[in-house]
Structure 1
């Protein structure tokens, strides 16, 4: 059978009537096809037909296991486990002989070792289809079973020809934990009789939606940042397969239709080659034809964008492939009444099956162009590097080796080569010590990823952003990185950097005291482990030097001292040394209470610390993302137990058992006067309120925070709207919004909330236009914006000028307690480690300072 029969088969499925209700798998597929009866169909395993129920993840796994057992074309790989221990599956579908030689085939076509080798024209085409990265966008995961069955069971010669020359990779559920959270909700609340009413509980998830993973993170923002386990598990396989094309299947609002890229042309990142957009546009014609045949509404060159490279549809664009976003209007249940009529779950599945097949069809038709594009993508690197006025980036050694290693680890996960300096280097008066400073050359295959991780653009062709406009990794980690104009004078290690375990030495058991410094990112984790097990620790508010085994050691403010001469638990030294070794933090054994320089160890300037009990306010109306980011930092990274309480339940909670309350961005207008009074009384009795963004503004409005915020009316008055035509309405809204940009602040490093920071310049992430005026009261401003604060990303100059010199973090007493407030997200997306310690300091050191 010739390839033309494959095209005909695809057209037949496109002309088939849209499946509106649950149906056997064949109903979603081309008419007249013959299938291998030995290959198991989904309904035979599930016990119900596709579209009849929302499939749980264990049922999805069970089907793919049996499909792989019954079809020699299907290979199943477990690429890892989620936080809730669900399997992450990768399904590879190709001819049997290709699967037998898969590693060799993939290695031959790899561009990771060189950007100069010409690739063979007969190398296989690789297509990756990723479904339901947002767990509540579930039609994709169900469509994956249909597509896999079709490819694994079809007896047509055209499919055999395709599979002889193509490797297809399906990720049926990119977010297993979120998938089950959503599916269990829908299956619990669906009626026996179908209810199309959008008000029905089936269509309304609770606060922690299935969109996110276990911790509450949007996994479709994590491809570049690599903070979540699911992404970390996936990326090595992405680079093993290096797909020519990646389809990313989503859902959107119920009243919409169907979307596929190219999207808005002006919203593409300039690092994306024009040929990428041209190929995406060419492939769009196949999706349009497919949906036309089914008379499905759709749109393409509107909405969304391809600017932020941390998404499944954009990360391939800087990795030699073509990423394509697909969005299906969501039934968010079985059936929902919409502006376009009743939308069924089965319709959503059918549309994703249709565009999955049109992606395969279009990619096969354009296989030579896709292969040539990938070859040209890497061949062009040398010329692009020649056009740059610098050769690479030099990463300066930092007191906090953890954050330096975090950056290096992320670079290596992105297959970027990093080299340690083999000898000291000095530039512009700055010393870059050997072994602890690192060089990233531009001239390597991952040139575009290097650029996107380090560049700091502030000017853009289109100022409308679907996601963030600034994400510079070095700024997020608060690391100094320098562009190197000429690299000839650098002496580098011969081998690329590789992570190694931190080493700690055995300490004397008879020391007068033990101490560790606070600049290490995980120092709060060590302190938490000590305090939670009854070990008594103190923090120094003045620097001192003490006698240690190595000689004399200087300890800066914020260093933690654990004295031997006070009441400690019986096994406290074992607890201390074991915890320090496990975390990788250097401990010092101090031999005398008489300091070499500065305060002695019995000084009142070395203050005792208390265990903490943290309450985090969540629930409807509160940002599930910011709550997740705080929880991830405190719970996952620092090991601090956090009690999450929905704000609707807060009035029933006895606050006196908690030392700290964290309120992230959200709406608090529905707090009653009694609830506000309860919080105020708790603070006055010694509690600490940490308020972020709109929670900070609420604190100001209720008189808890000594700060003033710029009003919405004042924001509007910054922009001249005279003579603006209606068509400029959206552009004006974009100018007033800060989608995500990076700003420079000046940190008061003498303040206890800034312990562990040695540099006054601290980059912060902003994704709101909340502006807090600089207070006139002295000593309460911990951080304020610099005179010219914008470092990376887009913000209208009117907002930049209004933000300049104003407050970013303030803290002061309220009775016996404290209120600490910021307009920023200190733990944004789990990778913003540069400012995260401000939050830890707000917990452990809130009673170390007194502003009044």
Structure 2
């Protein structure tokens, strides 16, 4: 057969295939954009494509959500490429070590990370259909990986809500109910986490499962499709400043190349768009930055709309924005991305190889030491990112000290580790571990500090030398519980210890705690030590067997003792050795609370601590008997005058009788200045310069002086306070705003001293003055109960690991 005839046959087969494939509208039975497609229907369409064109579409289920919806990926390419998909993948990954000879472009398109930014998934179906039909030529040298819905739980929450409340036909009046989601919106996942801020921290199962596959591919180009406010035009690359300093010239330039190609199509249609504003490239846990720090061209595309737009809505200038319009815009940038990537496949491969070679960073190694549980928690995160590390058991290492912010040294005699830049993930290591991020602009979209040594509570130095790991022989023996002991003792200084205690209490084992250091039988123990006595549990028939099972499960080191008579400190019968009251916890939801901050608490209990809690919605809390609970958590939010006088009186009486309130962030404002609660917001003297009129063009710069955009501060800790058991004399806190409260008369567990400056991240000059000499965490006693104030958020996005023990202390240690 001649080449000409072969080409005709090939074109004919493609034509027949295209005719046979149903478009999304044909398959679903309604015109795309006239309804929101439920997630199971989206999956059905992708399965249909994989069955109808198995030589060009390969579908895989890479996991399930909390609500058991499947997470799917579609690999789309030419027949030849798809037949050699694994070979293409392996050759591409060789480029991370400089040994590959890849020629294909790998493009990953991620849709609907925010569930109520619902146009994304609709656009994904139109895009994949177009690639399989009219634009199949793009696939000859390109593999397109499509994730049609990163957040199925949130998407279905939104689509089901919209289908319940929309008018028929839909109503474009923005005042109509269909344009106003309730408190529990579709943006977040099941646990109300923002998945677009979880790429680096991997606290959620969707992120964890997705990253396993992502790291098997590390695409050249990654696009994260979003929506923004109804009245905004479309946004695409290039991004706004600040760019992180590790971003290469090619990564910057290619964003411009893509942006110009998008603009060509938008200009032709008369569509409005903007670039180089709002969405910067700094915080490492986004769907654009995380891929960039792994060598990709990472980008966010933002369409106006979100949960308010519905099927159609009138905008502020009187235009009607429809779902069809929104689909068209995302569809256009998606195809344009594949087009440009296909045309530049060679350059993408060449620059990807360069990215992973010769990391010319100041610090070559990061050396860490600390509590073994905290080291293991960090290692678990690094494993998920395929970041290499090694153990250290001895030595003294010089470098930038995270503790002092200056040059220093770190001596290790056990429990140490080193993470080197010299590895394929070296750029990501630099970004996650750097002591302080270089800012080219203080106007940022998100937090400006996240360094892992601070987040995990580990001592560390950043070294300019390459440091090799040591061969550390670990001996691990399962602890055994001896039946004849008077008591069993174990330490309290990590979240593993908190999980261990929660497991004991869940199984009905009674546990005491030490409020003073003590020594017994030649061993010393600190405040917070857990004491499990045979006498307290003599009525529990399976006490020893249950204890042994839990100790083995957590591989917990237990010290048996034959007596309660201490060498120094307080004997086990002392009033200083109190029984830990089993918490019965309720958390407020709805109304004044932030969905994200509520979700962090919910996830902490169920997925991290593994301890039950009751969710009390604001709609009916006034009818709930609080005496059924001994702890009430008030998440951060906007409370204003939410609690009426009768409710405040009820809360005060409940605390007086032995209840415990944990007030977080904005919830403290609801108690500020109220009779019976002694927390007081700091008064800030006005600077005389504030009376000087400022040019309107400078308003953002002036405003930022009073802001803190996620900066790390070194605080003082009173570790004799039960709220601070398990901590040293210092704590590095991630401060997310400039709200500040005066010191308490007593009970200041963690606080900022005078003239404290951030160790990492941005804090405006006026904000720094405002938070000087202010409370971070504290406890107030009221009658038989307590109010615990958490000005900073120890559970923020689930990743500030070193803060979580404060919350556990609030539950178990404060009495």
Match of 2:381 in 1: 410
Match of 1:159 in 2: 136
Q: How does 1:756-835 map to 2 (within 5 A)?
A: 756-757=726-727, 759-775=728-744, 777=745, 779-787=746-754, 788-835=756-803
Structure 1 CA distance for aligned equivalents of residues 528 and 299 of structure 2: 49
Deviation, 1:420, is: 1.1
Secondary structure of the corresponding residue to residue 93 of structure 2: coil
Name the CA shift for 1:46/1:433 in 2 (closer, same or farther; >3 Å): farther
Match of 1:11 in 2: none
How many residues end up aligned between the 2 structures?
A: 787
Structure 2 CA distance for aligned equivalents of residues 605 and 112 of structure 1: 62
Match of 1:441 in 2: 420
Moved more, 169-178 or 253-262: 253-262
Q: Is the CA contact 1:715–1:736 (under 8 Å) kept in the aligned structure 2? A: no
Q: Does 1:269 align with 2:244?
A: yes
Q: How does 1:288-307 map to 2 (within 5 A)?
A: 288-307=263-282
Structure 2 CA distance for aligned equivalents of residues 688 and 361 of structure 1: 59
Q: Does 1:337 align with 2:353?
A: no
Aligned to 2:183, which of 182, 197, 207?
A: 207
Deviation, 1:215, is: 0.7
Unaligned runs of 5+ in 1: 3-31, 848-852
Secondary structure of the corresponding residue to residue 620 of structure 2: helix
Match of 1:17 in 2: none
Deviation, 1:575, is: 2.3
State the TM-score, normalizing by the size of structure 2: 0.92
Name the CA shift for 1:313/1:458 in 2 (closer, same or farther; >3 Å): closer
Structure 2 CA distance for aligned equivalents of residues 616 and 689 of structure 1: 10
Name the CA shift for 1:803/1:728 in 2 (closer, same or farther; >3 Å): same
Name the CA shift for 1:719/1:176 in 2 (closer, same or farther; >3 Å): farther
Q: Does 1:352 align with 2:330?
A: yes
Structure 2 CA distance for aligned equivalents of residues 328 and 503 of structure 1: 56
Structure 1 CA distance for aligned equivalents of residues 577 and 796 of structure 2: 32
Q: Is the CA contact 2:244–2:438 (under 8 Å) kept in the aligned structure 1? A: no
Deviation, 1:369, is: 3.0
RMSD, aligned CA:
2.4
Q: Is the CA contact 2:226–2:300 (under 8 Å) kept in the aligned structure 1? A: yes
Q: Is the CA contact 2:96–2:353 (under 8 Å) kept in the aligned structure 1? A: no
Name the CA shift for 1:502/1:802 in 2 (closer, same or farther; >3 Å): farther
Name the CA shift for 1:561/1:718 in 2 (closer, same or farther; >3 Å): farther
Deviation, 1:86, is: 1.4
Structure 1 CA distance for aligned equivalents of residues 783 and 519 of structure 2: 35
Name the CA shift for 1:532/1:159 in 2 (closer, same or farther; >3 Å): closer
Q: How does 1:721-760 map to 2 (within 5 A)?
A: 722-757=692-727, 759-760=728-729
Secondary structure of the corresponding residue to residue 692 of structure 2: coil
Q: How does 1:577-592 map to 2 (within 5 A)?
A: 577-592=548-563
Match of 1:23 in 2: none
Structure 1 CA distance for aligned equivalents of residues 720 and 606 of structure 2: 28
Deviation, 1:425, is: 4.4
Q: Does 1:478 align with 2:457?
A: yes
Deviation, 1:519, is: 1.4
Name the CA shift for 1:715/1:574 in 2 (closer, same or farther; >3 Å): farther
Structure 1 CA distance for aligned equivalents of residues 75 and 438 of structure 2: 42
Aligned to 1:571, which of 537, 542, 545?
A: 542
Q: Does 1:556 align with 2:556?
A: no
1:684-733 CA distances to partner (integer Å, 9 max, x unpaired)? 1111111112211321221343232135xx37648646252110011112
Structure 2 CA distance for aligned equivalents of residues 580 and 178 of structure 1: 38
Aligned to 1:109, which of 92, 103, 113?
A: 92
Structure 1 CA distance for aligned equivalents of residues 393 and 585 of structure 2: 45
Q: Is the CA contact 2:233–2:273 (under 8 Å) kept in the aligned structure 1? A: yes
Deviation, 1:616, is: 1.1
Moved more, 102-111 or 797-806: 797-806
Name the CA shift for 1:520/1:267 in 2 (closer, same or farther; >3 Å): closer
Structure 1 CA distance for aligned equivalents of residues 351 and 712 of structure 2: 33
Deviation, 1:352, is: 0.8
Aligned to 1:141, which of 103, 111, 121?
A: 121
Structure 1 CA distance for aligned equivalents of residues 176 and 685 of structure 2: 38
Name the CA shift for 1:284/1:648 in 2 (closer, same or farther; >3 Å): same
Q: Is the CA contact 2:141–2:342 (under 8 Å) kept in the aligned structure 1? A: no
Q: How does 1:214-225 map to 2 (within 5 A)?
A: 214-225=190-201
Name the CA shift for 1:510/1:38 in 2 (closer, same or farther; >3 Å): farther
Q: Does 1:546 align with 2:517?
A: no
Deviation, 1:289, is: 1.2
Structure 2 CA distance for aligned equivalents of residues 728 and 561 of structure 1: 59
Secondary structure of the corresponding residue to residue 621 of structure 1: coil
Structure 2 CA distance for aligned equivalents of residues 150 and 715 of structure 1: 62
Name the CA shift for 1:183/1:715 in 2 (closer, same or farther; >3 Å): farther
Q: How does 1:331-730 map to 2 (within 5 A)?
A: 332-340=309-317, 341-381=319-359, 384-385=360-361, 388=362, 390-396=363-369, 398-399=370-371, 401-421=372-392, 423-425=394-396, 430-434=410-414, 436-457=415-436, 460-487=439-466, 492-493=470-471, 504-547=478-521, 552-566=522-536, 567-668=538-639, 669-711=641-683, 714=684, 717=687, 720=690, 722-730=692-700
Q: How does 1:47-62 map to 2 (within 5 A)?
A: 47-62=29-44
Structure 2 CA distance for aligned equivalents of residues 273 and 715 of structure 1: 44
Match of 1:128 in 2: 108
Deviation, 1:824, is: 0.6
Structure 2 CA distance for aligned equivalents of residues 291 and 732 of structure 1: 35
Q: Does 1:241 align with 2:217?
A: yes
Deviation, 1:177, is: 1.1
Structure 1 CA distance for aligned equivalents of residues 168 and 427 of structure 2: 53
Structure 2 CA distance for aligned equivalents of residues 112 and 568 of structure 1: 64
Secondary structure of the corresponding residue to residue 327 of structure 1: strand
Structure 2 CA distance for aligned equivalents of residues 718 and 666 of structure 1: 32
Secondary structure of the corresponding residue to residue 458 of structure 2: coil
Secondary structure of the corresponding residue to residue 671 of structure 2: helix
Q: Is the CA contact 2:265–2:332 (under 8 Å) kept in the aligned structure 1? A: yes
Name the CA shift for 1:717/1:653 in 2 (closer, same or farther; >3 Å): farther
Aligned to 2:83, which of 65, 86, 100?
A: 100
State the TM-score, normalizing by the size of structure 1: 0.88
Q: Is the CA contact 1:111–1:378 (under 8 Å) kept in the aligned structure 2? A: no
Structure 2 CA distance for aligned equivalents of residues 501 and 41 of structure 1: 61
Deviation, 1:641, is: 1.4
